[in-house]
Amino acid sequence: MGIVIESEVWEPNPYLYIFLLFSSLFSLTLLPHFTKNSNRTIGVFDLSSVPASFRRFQGSLLLIYSLASVMEGLGSVFGEFEYASYGISREQIVLSLCVGSAASLLVGSLLGIIGDLIGQKKVCLLFCVLHLLVGIWKRLTMNPCVWVASICLAVASSIFSFGFEMWVVAEHEKLGHRQALSDTFWLMAFSESASHIGSQILANSLASSSGEQRFDFLYTAAIFLATICLIYVTREWKESPNVASIGSYRMSFSGNIIGDKRIWLLAWAQACLQFSIMVVWILWAPTVVADGREVRLGMIYPCFMGARMLGSTAVSWFTGGPSPVRSEDYLLYAFIVNAIVLSIAAYDYQEIGVLVTLFCIFHACVGLILPSLAQLRTMYVPNELRGGMISLSTAPANAAMLIVLIQGGYHRNVGNATIMAFAAFGLFSAAGCMHQLKKWGKHPHQNWHKL
């Protein structure tokens, strides 16, 4: 008599979703009660003290940013499965990722400077146009060239990393609510994570309802969202023309960005974080399913985004409570925690539940770090140079990612553990940057730290 061994497919406990959701809501609900007696104005909660014009702006901002985040998420829901449906081999998929990284490095690194010169409205229009072109290209072509899509989406992602932040800072400055930037940054991080969950739900529902042509409805949705964003930015986005010449911009950039050691520290911390996010995005699934373990990967990704949502709500607890904490202080420990998490995942074999917990901790820290770094950029980087600083700070991350994809993904000369350990080392160095920035930074009682 034979014995049949049934393999169990691992999936997260449903209570984990409930925990992350209610923890985020609980954090948002309690926040106004613990911050109402502090010296800091919580514009997003204290609506009575905020003009209606600013409330309308903040609401429209979060709406359009959420739609843009959904567009960003739609392109990566199916990933390799979508490529495989076109008959593309693994080597071709890796090569297309290399092309995308090269485009981010060569083109994306310069777009921030161009955005500073021509204005953030035009580069954000380019973001919408690129997503629109990719949607139309995939919708009309039976076997679309993955290189074209990879280049367009990579450039669009580069714009997404700085374009909307440039707009947010400029509008807050124009409306006289610069002190509310900290709230807006973490709300953007919160809505971005929620939108990525929504994009996964939308993509799976559209793909499962489209029969044989399982991606057609998905491309149609991308075209629709890109059109809405394009119309909104064109009609509603008001922008003062930038009159700076290339020569004056170069002199200002050299004096204020290249000549400031504190901004170099911020740039390196941003690059290390960006590289670690890309490494985790590529390697978390192979790490979880190592040794042939069967896992419902689609059920795990929402946990990561839920953890990032929870982490973003912690920003206002640190900066807006009765005893505010300097951004450099808690960022130092957040980078160290993430470095330890990746070190454990790289070199210590763990059960699936432990790995998922570790990656949830990583994403929670990312949700805390991203808006906090944006807040620090507001302290040190002039508004007219912000795009160039952000785009150039991501260049080391894109270069490192290109090397990883070529050596680790294409030639397979570098193991996944080594790649993840390299990302952990970068995060440790980013923690050192925060420690040094605290020494070189502005005095904690200056108004910038009340943002």
Residue 230 CA to residue 217 CA, distance in Å, equals 20
User: CA torsion, points 428, 450, 57, 21, in degrees to nearest 10?
Assistant: 50
User: CA torsion, points 63, 64, 66, 68, in degrees to nearest 10?
Assistant: 170
How much is the pLDDT for 450? Answer: 41
Q: What is the Cα 337 distance to its own chain's centre?
A: 19
Residue 382 lies in a domain: yes
* Main-chain dihedrals φ then ψ at residue 125, nearest 5 degrees: -65, -40
| pLDDT tens digits, one per residue of 286-313 | 888 887 778 888 888 899 999 999 999 9
Question: How many angstroms separate the Cα of 76 from the Cα of each of 79, 135, 152, 200?
Answer: 5, 13, 13, 9
What's the farthest any 2 CA atoms get from each other in the chain?
A: 84
Q: What is the Cα 439 distance to its own chain's centre?
A: 28
| pLDDT tens digits, one per residue of 142-187 | 666 778 888 999 999 999 999 999 988 988 888 887 888 888 899 9
Q: What is the DSSP letter of 242?
A: P
Residue 228 CA to residue 226 CA, distance in Å, equals 5
Q: What is the CATH number of the domain that holds 416?
A: 1.20.1250.20
Residue 394 CA to residue 271 CA, distance in Å, equals 5
Residue 23 lies in a domain: no
**257: three-class secondary structure by DSSP:** helix
**295: three-class secondary structure by DSSP:** strand
User: CA torsion, points 46, 48, 50, 52, in degrees to nearest 10?
Assistant: 130
Residue type at 389 in one-letter notation: M
Residue 224 CA to residue 245 CA, distance in Å, equals 37
Q: Please indicate, yes or no, whether the overall pTM of this predicted structure exceeds 0.85.
A: yes
Low-confidence residues of the chain: pLDDT under 70? 1-8, 31-50, 79, 142-144, 208-214, 240-244, 321-323, 441-451
Residue 446 lies in a domain: no
Question: How many angstroms separate the Cα of 203 from the Cα of each of 81, 295, 411?
Answer: 13, 20, 32
Q: Which of 76, 65, 227, 208 is nearest to 149 (CA)?
A: 76
Taking the CB of residue 285, how many other CB atoms lie within 10 A of it? 16
Domain range for 86: 52-440
What 204-211 contacts at long range (C-beta under 8 Å, 24+ apart), as own/partner pairs, is 204/77, 204/298, 207/78
How much is the pLDDT for 173? Answer: 85
With beta carbons less than 8 A apart as the criterion, state whether 66 and 154 touch: no
Number of domains forming the structure of the chain? 1
CA atoms within 13 A on the CB side of 157: 21
Q: Tokens representing 52?
A: 């209606």
With beta carbons less than 8 A apart as the criterion, state whether 209 and 84 touch: no
How much is the pLDDT for 196? Answer: 92
With beta carbons less than 8 A apart as the criterion, state whether 162 and 390 touch: yes
How much is the pLDDT for 40? Answer: 47
Q: How many residues does the chain have?
A: 451
How much is the pLDDT for 431? Answer: 96
Scan for tokens 């807050």, then name that residue: 172
Residue 256 lies in a domain: yes
Scan for tokens 């081999």, then name that residue: 89
With beta carbons less than 8 A apart as the criterion, state whether 426 and 272 touch: yes
| pLDDT tens digits, one per residue of 54-91 | 778 888 889 999 999 999 988 777 767 777 777 777 78
**10: three-class secondary structure by DSSP:** strand
Residue 434 lies in a domain: yes
Residue 447 lies in a domain: no
How much is the pLDDT for 246? Answer: 82
How much is the pLDDT for 286? Answer: 87
Residue 27 lies in a domain: no
Neighbouring residues of 234: CB distance < 8 A, sequence distance ≥ 6: 125
Residue 30 CA to residue 356 CA, distance in Å, equals 28
Residue type at 210 in one-letter notation: S
With beta carbons less than 8 A apart as the criterion, state whether 221 and 206 touch: yes
How much is the pLDDT for 265? Answer: 95
Angle between helices 395-404 and 90-103 (to 10 degrees): 160
Helices (H), 348-394: 352-380, 386-393
Residue type at 434 in one-letter notation: M
**7: three-class secondary structure by DSSP:** coil
Helices (H), 6-89: 14-35, 52-74, 80-85
Residue 157 CA to residue 101 CA, distance in Å, equals 11
How much is the pLDDT for 241? Answer: 59
**47: three-class secondary structure by DSSP:** helix
Q: Which of 269, 264, 283 is nearest to 421 (CA)?
A: 283
Residue 357 CA to residue 7 CA, distance in Å, equals 22
